[in-house]
Amino acid sequence: MHQTIPDEATIITYLHREDATSQLALGWIIEQHSKRLYTTIRRWVKNHEDTNDILQEVFLKIWKNKHQFQGNSALFSWIYRIAYNESMYFLKKEQRHSAVELDSPLMTFQPSSEHFGKITPEEISTWLMEAVNELPEKQRMVFEYKYYDDLKYEEIANLTGGSVGGLKANYFHAVQKIETFLKTKLNH
Amino acid sequence: MKDNEQHIIDELNKGITPLPSDDYFAQLHANIFSQIETSVPPKIIPLYKKNWFLLSTAASITLIISLALFQGNEPTEKVVAEVDWNSVSREEVLAYVDNNIDDFETEELIKHLDSIPHWEHAIAPESNNDLSQIKEKTSNSTENDELFKDIDKEEILRYLEDEYIELDDELLN
């Protein structure tokens, strides 16, 4: 499976074909983005089983709707949108907003923080997720891959398109909004 | 923009999202493609092979042909207009009108009286309700006048009353 993956334009061209090369393009997309999508979805739904189901559904949706993608945005932006919509639909259907499993990553305050020991990991994790969900899509995407995955702006630009300067601005505004949200929660 | 400003999120330990092994992702690849290959694409049946299409096409063609034949059998005004009325004798016209008087509208008959030669010698006074013409007709010596020569005026009026034939006051006066 570790084959050379062509550039995005080639992948999109192959994906739109009606022969075996279309499935080849889907294979490239799975290999290129499955791990990143897994961690993203896992952050939202908090457990492996649901992440696995949603992840498969996302790739099936990509296959079924491949002709709807016309290349007006970066391919991963489109994929991210599908993953986000599927995850939020799942959470809404299950009426779960923070079903946390034992192996789920929880946010905790560092000992040096004034909030250390005052807020439970479940609370802060839930608040942070709510704050991120209120962000516009582009800001949310940039924040998640910069803050959680520590990607460089150049790497994020390759995924989402856009300039490094624009992405920095997106991240700055996202952080400001989350800061305001958390301060409101913490001061109550 | 100040990147060195401390934010609440900077005070958090983010944790690491657990990632499955490579085997999981290899299996993920296989699972997805097995679902794609098992979904059979819908069979496309050409329209001309569908029974309903063939039947409706046949019915439409039959209807069109029927309408065309029906149109062809109807006499048109043009055909009527091309008939040479000069080839039809007065007696034939009068006989036809007399035999089919019920099929004609009185108003239409009155309109075309002048087109029939010597109509004043016709034998159907009650169809035009014109007493003056009745008098005139009875005064002319044609074979039709023979029928009325023995009938006097009073008898005619009584006849008209019995038949409830409405006469214009003007005509009566």
Query: For B26-67, what is each residue's pLDDT tens digit?
Result: 999 999 999 987 654 555 666 776 778 888 889 999 999 999
Helix, strand, coil shares of chain A, percent, nearest 5, are: 70, 0, 30
Q: Given the DSSP bridges, would you call strands A108-109 and B12-13 parallel, antiparallel or unpaired? A: antiparallel
Cβ-count burial of B63 within 10 angstroms (0-12 exposed, 13-18 middle, 19+ buried)? exposed
Instruction: Determine what percent of chain A is predicted with pLDDT higher than 70.
Output: 93
Nearest residue to A143 (alpha-carbon basis) of A121, A165, A107, A167:
A167
pLDDT tens by residue, A12-26: 999 999 888 999 999
Q: With beta carbons under 8 A apart, name residues in chain B contacting A56.
A: 28, 31-32, 35
Residue A1 has pLDDT above 50, yes or no: no
Residue A56 to residue B28, Cβ atoms within 8 A: yes
CB of A122 within 8 A of CB of A106?
Answer: yes
Give the global pTM.
0.60
| ipTM value for the complex | 0.85
Residue of chain B nearest A128, judged by CA positions: B9
Helix, strand, coil shares of chain B, percent, nearest 5, are: 65, 0, 35
Place of tokens 């300067």: A165
Q: Identify the pLDDT of residue B96.
A: 82
Q: Which residues pair with B12 in a beta bridge?
A: A109
Average pLDDT of the segment spanning A134-156: 94
Number of CB pairs, chain A paired with chain B, less than 8 A apart = 88
User: What's the alpha-carbon Rg for chain B, to the nearest Å?
Assistant: 47
Nearest residue to B38 (alpha-carbon basis) of A66, A58, A27, A60:
A60
Residue B32 to residue A59, Cβ atoms within 8 A: yes
Cβ-count burial of A173 within 10 angstroms (0-12 exposed, 13-18 middle, 19+ buried)? middle
Q: Which residues pair with B13 in a beta bridge?
A: A108
Q: Mean pLDDT highest for which of A78-87, A105-114, B65-74?
A: A78-87
Q: With beta carbons under 8 A apart, name residues in chain B contacting A38.
A: 19-20, 25
Q: With beta carbons under 8 A apart, name residues in chain B contacting A103.
A: 18
Q: Does the beta carbon of B30 lie under 8 angstroms from any beta carbon of chain A?
A: no
Rounded to a whole number of angstroms, the distance from the CA of B14 to the nearest CA of chain A is: 5
**Boundaries of CATH 1.10.1740.10 in chain A?**
1-99
Going by pLDDT thresholds of 50, 70 and 90, the confidence category of residue A178 is very high
Residue A150 has pLDDT above 70, yes or no: yes
Residue of chain B nearest A124, judged by CA positions: B12
Helix (H) or strand (E) holding B16: none
A126 vs A58, higher pLDDT: A58
Q: How far apart are CA A125 and CA A132, in angstroms?
A: 11
Q: Identify the pLDDT of residue A169.
A: 96
Q: How far apart are CA A40 and CA B19, in angstroms?
A: 11
The angle that helices A20-45 and A48-64 make with each other, rounded to 10 degrees, is 150
Q: How far apart are CA A74 and CA A72, in angstroms?
A: 7
Both tokens of B32, joined, read: 């997805």
Q: With beta carbons under 8 A apart, name residues in chain A contacting B36.
A: 23, 26, 60, 63
Q: With beta carbons under 8 A apart, name residues in chain A contacting B7.
A: 175, 178-179
CB of A58 within 8 A of CB of A36?
Answer: no
Rounded to a whole number of angstroms, the distance from the CA of B66 to the nearest CA of chain A is: 47
pLDDT tens by residue, B109-167: 666 666 655 544 444 444 444 555 554 544 444 555 566 666 777 777 777 777 655 55
CB of A153 within 8 A of CB of A169?
Answer: no
What topology is assigned to A106-188 in CATH? Answer: Arc Repressor Mutant, subunit A (1.10.10)
What is the number of alpha carbons within 13 Å of residue B41 lying toward its C-beta? 5
Residue A108 to residue B33, Cβ atoms within 8 A: no
Place of tokens 């995850």: A87
Average pLDDT of the segment spanning B2-11: 76
A71 CB neighbour count, 10 Å cutoff: 12
Residue from A60, A64, A67, A180 whose CB has the most chain B CBs within 10 Å, to mutate: A60
Residue of chain A nearest B36, judged by CA positions: A60
Q: The domain A1-99: what is its CATH number?
A: 1.10.1740.10
